[in-house]
Amino acid sequence: MPTDRIYFRCTPRMSTASARWAWLTERIIVGTGERRPDTVRLHFYVVG
């Protein structure tokens, strides 16, 4: 399959023991991904 047709959507869940990053556990995060010949690209967005 051509790499420009390989993509996905995700809803990652974050967890941390650090107070600095605790806000990530309280947000809705969605993401997209693309598979390239030599790498994978991920893009994440905070919704709420």
Give the per-residue pLDDT at 4.
Answer: 67
The tens digit of pLDDT for each residue in 13-46 reads 999 999 999 999 999 999 999 888 888 899 999 9
Task: Read off the pTM.
Answer: 0.69
Q: Provide the terminal-to-terminal Cα distance of the chain, rounded to the nearest Å.
A: 35
Task: For residue 10, give both structure tokens.
Answer: 């995700």
Q: How far apart are CA 40 and CA 31, in angstroms?
A: 13
The tens digit of pLDDT for each residue in 1-11 reads 676 677 789 99
